Amino acid sequence: MAVNIQRITVSVLALVLACVALLGVVDDLGKQYTDASFKRALVTFGVARGLNGVISVVQGTEVAMEPAGVGVIFAPGQILDPVNDLIERFSWVMLASTTSLGLQGLLLKMFASQGYSWLVALTVALAVWLLWQHQGVSRAWRQRIYRLAAVLLILRFLVPGLAISGEVFYRLFLASEYEVSSTHLNQTSSTLGRLQEDSRQGNTVREPLSWYDGLQQNIKSTLEAMDVDQQVSALQAAVADLSEHMINLIVVFTVQTVLFPLFFLWLASRAVRAVMHLR
């Protein structure tokens, strides 16, 4: 009686999974979550590359002011030096994360294809039939079919399961860190972009002015020079915690796109090995 209950349980579970594979119930959700993660990584990678480019340009510029004929030089590149290398490495991390998510999307398409789904369904149906009607089939061959069906099912639901569980993990533990740090990166990029524009305007060759226009320009530049300390303080405040936020984003994407998939693959490999050692 216990053996029959076990067979019924295994048969029902296997057939339900085969039907789910054919209907693609979890594939749409997995694709939706994979696309959302890929878009987040792609946007963050674009911000990182843009920030790297802006910093590289700003580092080579100087904002020159001449209040009343006295030269004042504001060199923002000196302030940005400490974070430049970290931004470059951050860009590489984001490229790796984007590539990882793109690969997950490709694997999802492969294992969710109709051809593979029908292969899984037919193999599972054969395994269930052999579970109940095994006369004339050797035990060794039955074991091979059972193992093949189990491995095909594991591979069929591996990537959708990874996408769904990874998104759940992200929303529970990583989403708040991502939102705060991503917003800060965008704000810093905008701040540096304005500074770059100011430097271009400040370094533009000026035409000769009349004495009155020159007096007005000197007054304006004097007021701007008085504001240099505030500009420096604002820039330092903008980049002071930039490293912290970049490290937070590195942690977020490394965990979601590298460590979590590796852990999931480890669990899948353990399941496959357990299936292969079944007697």
pLDDT in tens, the chain (279 residues): 566 888 899 899 999 999 999 998 899 999 999 999 999 999 999 988 888 887 777 666 655 544 444 455 555 666 677 777 888 889 999 999 999 999 999 999 999 999 999 999 999 999 999 988 877 888 889 999 999 999 999 999 999 999 999 999 999 999 999 999 998 888 877 777 666 565 555 544 445 544 335 434 554 555 454 455 666 676 676 667 788 899 999 999 999 999 999 999 999 999 988 887 765
180-199 in b/e form (b: 16+ CB < 10 A) is ebbebbeebbebbeebbebb
Alpha helix locations (H) across the chain? 2-23, 25-59, 77-111, 114-132, 139-169, 175-202, 211-226, 228-240, 242-254, 260-276
pLDDT of amino acid 36: 94
Does some domain include residue 208? Answer: no
Tell me whether residue 243 is exposed, middle or buried, using C-beta atoms within 10 angstroms of its C-beta: 0 to 12, 13 to 18, 19 or more: middle
5-21 in b/e form (b: 16+ CB < 10 A) is eeeeeebeebeebbebb
Q: Are 91 and 45 in contact (CB under 8 A)?
A: yes
Does some domain include residue 253? Answer: yes
Tell me the two tokens of residue 129: 């039939």
Does some domain include residue 56? Answer: yes
Torsion on CA atoms 238, 239, 245, 249, rounded to nearest 10 = 110
Does some domain include residue 210? Answer: no
Does some domain include residue 42? Answer: yes
Does some domain include residue 131? Answer: yes
Does some domain include residue 212? Answer: no
* Domain region containing 101: 2-203+217-276
Write a three-state SS string for 152-172: HHHHHHHHHHHHHHHHHHHHH
DSSP 180-203: HHHHHHHHHHHHHHHHHHHHHHHT
pLDDT of amino acid 100: 93
Q: Are 47 and 69 in contact (CB under 8 A)?
A: no
Three-state SS for 207? coil
Residue 276 is which amino acid? M
Does some domain include residue 209? Answer: no
What total of structural domains would you count in the chain?
1
Three-state SS for 53? helix
